[in-house]
Amino acid sequence: MHLSMDLNSTINAGNHEIVITNDVNSLLKGFLNNPGSSFSSVFVISDENTNQQCLPLIKKSLPGFRNIVIGAGELNKNFHTCNVVWEQLLQAGADRKALVINLGGGMVSDLGGFAAATYKRGVRFVNIPTSLLGMVDASSGGKTGIDLNLYKNMVGLFAFPAIVMIDPVFLKTLPEKEWRNGVAEMLKHGIIADKKLWQSLSDEINNSSNATLDESSKNKFISLLLASVKVKADIVTKDPFELNERMYLNFGHTMGHALESYSLKNDDVPLTHGEAIAIGMICETLLSVKLCALPVEVMDEITATITTFFKQYRIPKNAYQEIIQLMKADKKSENNLMTFTLLKNLEAPVLQKGVAADLVLEALHFYNLLRK
Amino acid sequence: MHLSMDLNSTINAGNHEIVITNDVNSLLKGFLNNPGSSFSSVFVISDENTNQQCLPLIKKSLPGFRNIVIGAGELNKNFHTCNVVWEQLLQAGADRKALVINLGGGMVSDLGGFAAATYKRGVRFVNIPTSLLGMVDASSGGKTGIDLNLYKNMVGLFAFPAIVMIDPVFLKTLPEKEWRNGVAEMLKHGIIADKKLWQSLSDEINNSSNATLDESSKNKFISLLLASVKVKADIVTKDPFELNERMYLNFGHTMGHALESYSLKNDDVPLTHGEAIAIGMICETLLSVKLCALPVEVMDEITATITTFFKQYRIPKNAYQEIIQLMKADKKSENNLMTFTLLKNLEAPVLQKGVAADLVLEALHFYNLLRK
């Protein structure tokens, strides 16, 4: 990776700012030394991986910080881990003027944000995303939380970071799987709100050999970070608490979250969030054709790009009912009826309540039929 | 108890209303049947005691509710219990339009409010306090939370109930210890903001035999419910998130919470919250004389009434340092310096930051010397 681009953008996300930079150390120092901040202590929450790979890159800007390291991976995003964080804050004497820095992917910022927002009824926190997924999605917007029995994000609250600091330097050590994980959300942003972004990503995917991601593709994705972050920031600014248009960001997620939970429970190598969302987007694209008159050519375009970029997965037929049940537990469900964000077209998402189970089954089956 | 008073008052607490009534069933039915509410399901959280003693009194107004029963007592106010509540909500298919009714004392409304406010990023909840302490304090004002390693309320958030319904009918089965528990907070309300309330309570205490509380005293306390609730509601309305004058409600609590935590860990029969707060008020009254020129006669008056009404407790000298450490973990502490709400006079509280440990030790010793 050359990271030759000069990145320096501040994006307003309503309740918080997102800064994209090539120099997270300067940004961090400036933030900590701002006389208005007056933090009594600084805690860094990282996971086993980011503690080794990412913390060394910013350590010099963090005099006297305390280190809280949690287990990596979605399976650790639970109340046991949260309790460990609370106890370490308490034992270290963190008061209400403490600052928590979440250094990691979405799992770290989701759990760390929740822990910070509930410790002593809330201390301030900063997100420094280290994964592409964290950068384009999880680190901004104020959704914090933990999973419950592998049901995704069932416990949580809206709590906004003091600032989000995005520096692609952390991506240097990011495993390829994690790149794809992030690109899934970038594709979603393009599909629901930015045709150009969608086209650029789609072109890159369709014109590259995707068996292994090369530097050129990675740099292309980095160059599209800003556009992707902007889609989310604009929507969150308009509707921070997800009463209306923020639900559009859930495209692919009603089915994706259910598949992700199913896979976490049943597969030795579970689907990543992005892989699950990618399948969810294909299924929900079919629902969009059936229910919202999405042109079939658009469905074909979306389906082709996604199947080119993400590995195939077999959804076992005998798991269909379990997956439907998982969807019914989705936070957007009401009175046992499933809610989806579907598409009338690119850049034209629409909320669809009360979708019947047989159509959902058909969509799962449709995905399975796509397998070559 | 005659409960002959016709109670029917609605008190504005800013973010929520508190209704004092003799007919909680009518109030509850009206609330649940309000077309604007549209709850998808109703859950009642009670503890082992209120499930038996209080739930039967309102069951007829709750068609088709689900019952969540938790262990009683402060020792259960932790994240394990919270997780049980979350899991039961999830298993029963509670969606975002579910309603949680917290039926119990402060432990139930603190924990139940926290569980509700974080389940699926928040469902609505109602508090129906069944203890005097719950009625005059814990059920209103939106502080929710759980303890951490017996440190009081270390995890939580501000989340406001849809409504608080107070009906003294639940007090019929309240143990005498619990009456005293509530009177402690009523005394505090009188001291910081309502001299008449203080005088009425003080007269009742000093003119009765307090060895056993008789019906007449209990009725007197019920007649003062409204005045006490109003003190809290007025303060909470002005400063819901405790940035300024809401801190006045912490009179007696910096020392009280530390003593309560200490006693929970060390005593076979731990101090109740009210007993601990009562000791805290005595100690902080001495600090007020030293630091805020509280007239000695007022200190004597407060000390005399409180020692008449609450059982004596010996604070072991070798526990002083542990208690100081507990105070330093208090949510109001900053940079390891303790903050207290002290008194310049009755109805004249003042916030005092950075109180030195030796003065605090002296105050603990002062309390011990009061023992006859």
CA distance A329 to chain B (A): 6
Residue A372's pLDDT is: 57
Instruction: Please name the member of A83, A86, A118 whose beta carbon is closest to the beta carbon of B157.
Output: A118
Please, which pLDDT band fits residue A336 given cuts at 50, 70 and 90? confident
pLDDT of residue B37: 83
Please name the residue of chain A whose CA is at the shortest distance from the CA of residue B241.
A121
Tokens for B343? 């008194």
User: How many angstroms away from the CA of B95 is the closest CA of chain A?
Assistant: 6
Query: A75 — contact with chain B (CB < 8 Å)?
Result: no
Task: Judge whether residue A187 has pLDDT over 80.
Answer: yes
pLDDT digits (tens, 9 = 90+) for A157-170: 999 999 999 999 99
Number of other CB atoms surrounding residue A113 within 10 Å: 28
CB pair distance less than 8 Å for A87 and B155? no
Search chain B and give the residue with CA nearest A115.
B155
Chain A nearest-CA residue for B329: A93
Measured in whole angstroms, how far is the alpha carbon of residue A107 from the centre of its chain? 9
Query: How far is the first Cα of chain A from the last one, in angstroms, to the nearest whole number?
Result: 33
Q: Does B121 contact A156 at a Cβ distance shorter than 8 Å?
A: yes
Which residue is it, tokens 């989806």? Answer: A340
Burial zone of B215 (CB within 10 Å; 0-12 exposed, 13-18 middle, 19+ buried)? exposed
Instruction: Note the pLDDT of residue A21.
Output: 97
Residue B157 neighbours by CB distance under 10 Å: 21
Whether residue B121 and residue A87 make contact (CB cut-off 8 A), yes or no, is: no
Instruction: Kindly provide the b/e burial profile for residues A310-334, where b requires at least 16 CB atoms within 10 angstroms of the residue's own CB.
Output: beebebeeebbeebbebbbbbbbbb
Q: Is the pLDDT of residue A323 over 60?
A: yes
Of A79, A120, A157, the CB nearest to B79: A79
Average pLDDT estimate for A13-24: 95
Contacts of B224 (CB under 8 A, 6+ apart): B186, B197, B200, B201
Put simply, the answer to whether A93 touches B145 (Cβ < 8 Å) is: no
Residue A173's identity, in one-letter code, is: T
Q: Is A83 on the interface with B (CB under 8 A)?
A: yes
Tell me the chain B residues in contact with residue A120 when contact means C-beta distances shorter than 8 Å. Answer: 154-155, 331
pLDDT at position A215, please? 94
Structural domains in chain A? Answer: 8-173 (3.40.50.1970), 176-369 (1.20.1090.10)
- The answer to whether residue A92 neighbours chain B at the CB level (below 8 Å) is no
Any chain B CB within 8 A of the CB of A84?
A: no
Mean pLDDT of A179-205: 98
Asked whether the beta carbons of residue B119 and residue A335 sit closer than 8 angstroms, the reply is no
Whether A325 has its CB under 8 Å from any CB of chain B: the answer is: no
Query: How high is the pLDDT of residue A36?
Result: 83
Tokens coding B362: 């002296």
Buried residues in B177-192 as b, exposed as e (16+ CB within 10 A): ebbbbbbbbbbbbbbb
Contact partners, residue B248, CB within 8 Å, separation at least 6: B192, B193, B235, B341, B349, B351
- Its ipTM equals 0.91
Q: Which of A87, A120, A334 sits opposite B149 (nearest CB)?
A: A87
Residues of chain B numbered 128-167 and touching chain A (CB < 8 Å): 143, 145, 148-149, 151, 154-158
Q: Which of B41, B118, B239, B257 to mutate to test the interface with A (most CBs of A within 10 A)?
A: B118
Say what the pLDDT of residue A139 is.
97
Do residue A93 and residue B334 have CB atoms under 8 angstroms apart? no
Are A90 and B148 in contact (CB < 8 Å)?
yes
B224 and B200 in contact (C-beta within 8 Å)? yes
Query: For A82-86, A172-176, A193-197, B147-151, which range has the lowest pLDDT when averaged over its residues?
Result: B147-151
Q: Does B353 touch chain A (CB under 8 A)?
A: no
- A360 pLDDT exceeds 70? yes
Residue of A nearest to B90 (CA): A329
Could you tell me which chain A residue has the CA closest to the CA of B330?
A: A95
Contact A148 B96 (CB under 8 A): no
Does residue A334 carry a pLDDT above 80?
A: no
The number of residues in chain A equals: 372
Taking CB atoms and an 8 Å limit, are B96 and A156 in contact across chains?
no
For B249-259, how does the pLDDT look when each residue is reduced to its tens digit (9 = 90+)? 999 999 999 99
pLDDT grade for A330, boundaries at 50, 70 and 90: confident
Place of tokens 């330093």: B328
Chain B residue numbers with beta carbons less than 8 Å from the beta carbon of A160 are: none
Among residues A155, A142, A151, A158, the alpha carbon closest in space to that of A79 is found at A155
The confidence band for A211, taking pLDDT boundaries of 50, 70 and 90, is: confident
What's the pLDDT at A16?
Answer: 95
Q: Which of A121, A328, A333, A338 to mutate to test the interface with B (most CBs of B within 10 A)?
A: A121
pLDDT at residue A10 above 90? yes
CB-CB neighbors (< 8 A) of B148 in chain A: 83, 86-87, 90
pLDDT tens track of chain B, all 372 residues?
A: 555 566 789 999 999 999 999 999 999 999 999 988 889 999 999 999 999 999 999 999 999 999 999 999 989 999 999 999 999 999 999 999 999 999 999 999 999 999 999 999 999 999 999 999 999 999 999 999 999 987 889 999 999 999 999 999 999 999 999 999 999 999 999 999 999 999 999 999 999 988 899 999 999 999 999 999 999 999 999 999 999 999 999 999 999 999 999 999 999 999 999 999 999 999 999 999 999 999 999 999 999 999 999 999 999 999 999 999 999 888 877 777 888 999 999 999 999 998 989 999 999 999 999 975
> B121 to chain A: which residues are within 8 Å by CB?
143, 145, 156-158, 331
Q: Model confidence at A1, in pLDDT bands (50, 70, 90)?
A: low
Q: Does B119 touch chain A (CB under 8 A)?
A: yes
Segments of chain B assigned E as strands: 8-12, 17-21, 41-47, 66-70, 98-104, 124-129, 143-148, 151-158, 163-166, 338-345, 348-355
